[in-house]
A and B are shown apart, each in its own frame.
Chain A
């Protein structure tokens, strides 16, 4: 499993999966603490219409228009949620339910109505991606990692995902203090003169960036699962934000690597020939990790709750 075949077939999808998982888990920590976990859900749904509209406008599946389209859709979604919530005077959850289902339905309809047969853009792909297909055909073994000719043939999703991860990490690192402050006590942060609204919107945009980049490679299932499960599991482990973020990165990596391995090789070990969906398996493993953390994590209970019932 560790030979040339592994480098060609499994190394790049595994790396892409891991980076996608981490890129989503990082903003997910803050969304979770702000009780906006489902914003991630909404964003990952509206990425689809954004990408479809971008495709219809430009006629290509190039990365930049897709990114812009999806980011635009995320902004539109957040704006519409806020508008529906205020105008109809209803709770945020219901407003969210109205908006993201509508946008997703519009995306599916556009997709069905337009001629996308020439490109791989369909609803199933949008939901669970095609991590398995991101293979590195030019690789002949571990030595290819040092071979510039072979490296030129890595799937374009790899550098794209790496860039997205770098941006997410950099922004969160730079904005760490204001972001943490406004997450825990928005009122206090506002009195200090921090732009809390801009911070909140920026966080959503960052999540959208991570979602778009990851969506392209791995589909929206991983995106939703990684926004929520690793940060939630990390929350069971510690009371400190910095450690929680660290744990969530560990859990995200673990989910991606173990999930991809189980999906690709698990059926073989059991004597079957076909692999199963890697995206689904990564989500499942992240759920199992969350389950273990919820059962045994040192900080799993609410502060002040009885430790034993």
Chain B
């Protein structure tokens, strides 16, 4: 069943949903990574919750005008208007009051959502039956998705991607360093506005698939996942698009494969699974990588300390150090150094003495900060500088 869902064999409707969701996932991953770079990830939480009163009002207006209340483009317009208002209110609060951004986000999201809930109960009492399914905007439901809806989502996602392609340079510049971007002549406020507009568009597009409570996950998690894999912004944006698209595709397919698997939560959990995997195995920031790095560092420290102990003729009590030196053929089992061990030990001691001389000399102030007890001095000084340093060293002593 799941295999059929993944290969688009569950019928026309499920295929449509999977394609629409994948496009949405790509668009939200890409858009979300700019938001993440700008360090405003949680603004999307307010944006998404603030859509609810707009959706409800749009429904009421469309029914009052005698139309179909669940007309998706109409609901999307209402959602965009009220989340736009929410963004304006957040901006006003931060500029004009002493409240910080997190408080403004929380206040707007809870109050707008509360007002939306009030309007939803108004709708429930308006005409029984006709509001059926409006609750699906909370947590997303692709079960009753129409062909037109899927087309709207797909086209919207493509438009968002196009806009990102055009705006990526200013948005990256502002994301990295808004002050520098302003100095280079970029209009930071307008760029932020464009970014927020894209976030809003993704949120509105995601209403029917993921639902407004969880769309924020699709904006944040792929971006964070991508951040684990690369230090380059453009790569990260592309990667976030892939991660978001994959999560949405698997999520939509999986949720279509059995009943009782709501689309939104499944997509979020798929996204988190990708994140957790990345956290484990990503090359530099991953858990495995940092464990390796840590053990490599530990070995360097033990090796150096062991060599210094050999050089000074001190016994080595630490069994790990001894094992390390033995494995490299630097020491014997009883802790006595081999010939290569003696040479390496003398080298380490000389290195340490040179560093001591360097750190005592104010002229080398800046270089001295590089001292960590591990770095060989040849990597920071030229041979000329080293021989200059050596003139201040005491006479060489016989090692052991």
Query: Is A bound to B?
Result: yes
B-binding residues in A (CB < 8 A): 32, 35-38, 40-41, 84, 87-91, 93-98, 101-102, 104-106, 108-109, 112-113, 123-124, 127-128, 221-222, 224-225, 227-229, 232, 235-236, 263, 267, 272-277, 279-284, 286-287, 290, 294, 299-303, 305
B114, B213, B227, B272 — most chain A CB neighbours (10 Å): B114
Name A276's closest neighbour in chain B (CB-CB): B121
Q: How far is the CB of B51 from chain A (nearest CB, A)?
A: 15
CA distance A282 to B113 in the complex (A): 11
Q: Which of B235-270 contact A (CB under 8 A)?
A: 260-262, 264-266, 268-269
Is residue B115 contacting chain A, with contact meaning CB distance below 8 A? yes
Closest 5 CB pairs of A and B: A283-B114, A287-B111, A280-B117, A274-B125, A101-B217
Majority SS of interface residues in chain B? helix
Q: Known contacts A88-B224, A105-B268: does B42 contact A97 (CB below 8 Å)?
A: yes
**Stretch from B10-18, B97-105, B145-153 that touches the partner:** B97-105
Beyond A94-B42, A301-B96, list 6 extra A-B contacts (CB 8 Å): A41-B106, A273-B125, A283-B111, A283-B115, A287-B112, A294-B99
User: In whole angstroms, how far apart are the Cα atoms of A277 and B123 in the complex?
Assistant: 11
Q: For the complex, what is the distance from the CA of A222 to the CA of B111, rounded to whole Å?
A: 9
Please tell me if the beta carbons of A105 and B264 are within 8 angstroms of each other in the complex.
yes
Interface pair A235/B109, CB less than 8 Å apart: no
A272 in contact with B110 given A101-B221, A108-B265 (CB within 8 Å) = no
Contact A109 B111 (CB under 8 A): no
Interface centre among A37, A38, A90, A101 (most CB of B within 10 A): A101
**Chain B min CB distance to A119 (Å):** 17
Q: Which residues does B use to contact A, with CB under 8 Å?
A: 36, 39-42, 44-45, 93, 96-100, 102-103, 105-107, 109-118, 120-122, 124-125, 135, 138-139, 213-214, 216-217, 219-221, 223-224, 227-228, 260-262, 264-266, 268-269, 272, 275, 279, 285, 287, 290
A221 and chain B: residue at smallest CB distance: B114
Chain B residues closer than 8 Å to A273, beta-carbon distance: 125
Give chain B residues whose Cβ lies under 8 Å from the Cβ of A108.
139, 262, 264-265
Known A-B contacts A32-B103, A91-B39, A97-B42; the reply to A112 vs B116 at CB < 8 A is no
Are A123 and B103 in touch, CB under 8 angstroms? no
**Partner pick for B36 among A87, A94, A102, A301, CB 8 A cutoff:** A94
> Which residues of chain B are within 8 angstroms of A94 by Cβ–Cβ distance?
36, 39, 41-42, 220, 223-224
